[in-house]
Structure 1
Amino acid sequence: MCSSVGLAPSTPVEQCLAAVKADVAKDGVAAPAADVAGLQKVVAGAQEHGIDLKVVVMETSPPIDTPLRDIATEIGHANPGATVLVLSPGWAGTYSTTYDRVLLEAGQDVAKTAPNPVVGTQAFVDQLQTPDFPWVGFTITLVIGVTAAAVLTRVLQLRAKRSQHTQIPAEQVE
């Protein structure tokens, strides 16, 4: 995390986090200098679409991805209403009170596999803007369709049974 604000890796974590928060507060981005301009453009584009995006890019990855989500949560708490993306080589962590975890994780998946942080961040924003499949409507339609098919099947069974009884000769009924 320290590398995203130009501090040495030996800097205490609390000091690095404070520097990252301050950097993000300025322009929405805490990243190595080479990525800042491109990320600022992506953040500005996201803002035009109503997404308050904050991005942190780390030059090295932790052993697991959990610390990235922890950092994203810290940045999110410092920036209420923001959606936060933290990227490292091969990992991503997110935080948002606006988007659900499923959508965030879908965005993480496309962001962490991108060739660089700018492309990954843009892919993340694009994923947030992708319309969801209307599962509720689909489920309701499916339930109604299955119910109608079951009722229709039962009605046809009863008709077939009645017509079978009316076709039986009178001497067989006795």
Structure 2
Amino acid sequence: MLGPQTPVFPAYIPADVDMDAVLIEVAADGVSADPADEAGLQQVVAGAREQGIDLKVVVIDSNPPIDTPLRDIATVVAQSHPDATVLVLSPSFAGTHSQAFDRVTLEAGEDLAKTGNPVQSAQNFVDQLNTPDFPWTGLTIVLTVGVLLAAVATRMLQVRAKSVETPKSQADTASAAPH
């Protein structure tokens, strides 16, 4: 029976991933990765921290059949670090979890984090998190106002053209009438 402190893991974490070891490593320095990548990833984590991002990075050695398990791993890590943004990398996939960033931003970062080089992937991810979003609201307002002004101008031109045409028609009718 599960006790109140026993975490419930998602159903699909690859068998070759030792989540207990991952959680211990991430708790120690924010990174769970191959020792060859550890120092570079710790620099990326420190740089992210300077920019106000509590980043945790997990790198697994092999690709799962799909990328979903990486998000599951990120979710488990986030249970221990609820304010963190968690990035999980495999050679070809990336998965994330964050309360601080929306899914669109995370997925844009994931797309840039598929380089095959964990340090570069993590840096690309952080860079994307710091990239300002396109101001869609402003663009929508400008376009809406522009269409409204075009519609008003068109209607004014129609009314003007009709008023110019009407006196001419009356003059033509009057000149055609017998005197």
Distance 2:90 2:21 in 1: 17
Does the residue aligned with 1:168 lie in a helix, a strand or coil?
Answer: helix
Q: Which runs of 5 or more structure 2 residues have no equivalent in the other structure? A: 1-13
Q: 1:101 aligns with which of 75, 100, 103?
A: 103
Larger radius of gyration: 2
**Where does residue 147 of structure 1 map in the other structure?**
148
After TM superposition, the runs of 4+ consecutive aligned structure 1 residues lying more than 4 A away are: none
Superposed displacement of residue 77, structure 1: 1.8
Secondary structure of the corresponding residue to residue 72 of structure 1: helix
2:6 paired residue number: none
Query: SS state of the match for residue 120, structure 1?
Result: helix
Distance of 1:171 and 1:150 partners within structure 2: 31
The corresponding residue for 2:75 is 73
1:168: Cα distance to partner?
Answer: 2.2
> RMSD between aligned alpha carbons?
1.7
1:88 pairs with 76, 87, 90, which one? 90
| Alignment of 1:126 onto 2:127 | yes
One-letter code aligned to 1:136: T
Tell me the secondary structure at the aligned position of residue 61 of structure 1: coil
Aligned length: 162
Against the structure 1 CA distance between its residues 10 and 143, is the aligned structure 2 distance closer, same or farther, given a 3 Å change threshold? closer
TM-score, scaled to structure 1: 0.88
Trace 1:25-64 onto structure 2 (pairs within 5 A): 25-64=27-66
Query: What is residue 19 of structure 1 aligned with on the other side?
Result: 21
* Unmatched runs of 5 consecutive residues or more in structure 1: 1-8
Q: TM-score, length-normalised on structure 2?
A: 0.86
Q: 1:77 is matched by which residue type in structure 2?
A: Q
Sequence identity percentage: 60
